[in-house]
Amino acid sequence: MPQLPLFEQSPRDPAFVQDPFPAYERMRALGPAVFWRDYGMAVFARHADVAALLRDRRLGRAPAPELAPQGPPADAFDAFERLSLLEREPPDHTRLRALVNRAFTSRAIAGFAPRIRAVAVGLADALPAEEADLMRAYAEPLPVRVIAELLGAPPEAAAQMRAWSHDMTAMYRFAPPPGARARANAAAQAFGAFMAEVIERRRRAPGRALIDALIAAEQDGARLSRDELIATSILLMNAGHEATTLAIGLALKLALTGTATPAALAAETGPDEALRLDPPMHLFTRHVREDLEHAGATLRRGQVIGLALGAANRDPERFARPELFDPRRPGLAGHVGLGAGIHFCVGAPLARLEMRAAVAALFARWPRIRLIEAPRFEDRYHFRALGALRVRPAG
């Protein structure tokens, strides 16, 4: 590869954790691609490049077949990762995504809207008037309860499902904590066994939840296998527990700090503008599956590169005055906060619905709600994770 401009920035630097956007500006100014020393890989940060490479079929979530790990999975966590829609490539991905899409349509998700609003209203009503942490008491339980219900699990199982998900998603951090792999494996085993029982029960007595649609989904005579159903269920909970929780928290922060009005956030395009301004995940990686050149960078088969979503969404060459919240901005649909291409977020309709419901219910119940301390982000890059949102609901 030709020499790329060197970019040095620890993702664990406290200043970067709280505000990565000045560093992203430096990254974009260096050129289309930089070598991020701390990650040891080429990273693209400009919107045009990130959007194009997310759609480039010569890149993938998984390496080329002959470069992928061979032999049986190392453990339960690895087994479910290999089956995950997020990690599959065509033709397996094409078949699996088509089946999931038959169940996960915008119309189907819209049918769950009344129940999602009811969950949000119930959580907002339950907040104490004097002091609350919205991350723990509101942003986290809302999507977890919704996904648990959509997966056919009893309400009392939601907390345990959240704990399993927390242990599994810890493996996606820049530096997983000690013991993370063992905890992720134990969680995958327990979560898998739990969902196997749920799926068997729903086969015998189908209902009207998302899990029933996934079980029944058929495309060209094919259906999801038992293990694919389990892996898809785990993926939906992991995304709901992690990404959607963070997205709700970030949207609430925008409203509480006066960056956006609750009405604008709860409007049709409000969630997408929030996801553009500060997405819950700031960096995706991709495996180079075929040699290619892009924007002057030579990418070799087997290489891993980074796509800086958080930087791309603030690129002034794509979005005018990108630091401002403007749900009416031209070209908003082109943001990459939910990815792009074949791996575009399958749960996007649900995430948008939950974000709108969360903002609307909270500010309807507590119109005078205010922050009682400045929000702080946790050291969990590439996740954009608020540690807390401490508020006084009664104002």
Helix ranges (H only) for the chain are 14-18, 21-30, 47-55, 76-83, 92-103, 106-110, 113-126, 134, 141-150, 158-169, 180-204, 210-216, 226-239, 245-256, 262-266, 270-277, 309-312, 348-365
Q: How far is CA 29 from CA 7, 46, 311, in A?
A: 11, 9, 11
The 10s digit of each residue's pLDDT in 16-54 is: 999 999 999 999 999 999 999 999 999 999 999 999 999
User: Which residue ranges make up each domain of the chain?
Assistant: 6-392
Per-residue model confidence (pLDDT) at position 181:
93
What is the reported pLDDT for 56?
98
Question: What would the pLDDT profile of 168-206 be if each residue is shown by its tens digit?
Answer: 998 887 778 889 999 999 999 999 999 999 999 999 999
pLDDT at 71: 76
Taking only the tens place, the pLDDT of each residue in 281-306 is 999 999 999 999 999 999 999 999 99
Contact by Cβ (8 Å): 255, 261 = yes
Domain 6-392 has CATH 1.10.630.10: yes
Contact (Cβ atoms closer than 8 angstroms) between residue 224 and residue 232 = yes
d(CA 80, CA 231): 5
- pLDDT value for 2: 54
| Cα distance from N-terminal residue to C-terminal residue, the chain | 57
Cα Rg of the chain, angstroms: 21
Q: What are phi and psi of 234, to 5 degrees?
A: -65, -40
How much is the pLDDT for 74? 77
Res 5: pLDDT: 97
375-391 tens-digit pLDDT: 999 999 989 999 999 99
The tens digit of pLDDT for each residue in 257-278 reads 999 999 999 999 999 999 999 9
Confidence of residue 241 (pLDDT cuts 50, 70, 90): confident
Cβ–Cβ under 8 Å, residues 346 and 97? yes
Residue 352 has pLDDT above 90, yes or no: yes
Which candidate, 225, 215, 243, places its Cα nearest to that of 103?
215
Q: DSSP code of 17?
A: H
Beta sheet of 284-288, edge-to-edge order: 6-7, 33-36, 41-44, 304-307, 284-288, 59-60
Overall average pLDDT of the 99-110 stretch: 87
Q: Extract the tokens encoding 94.
A: 């094409």
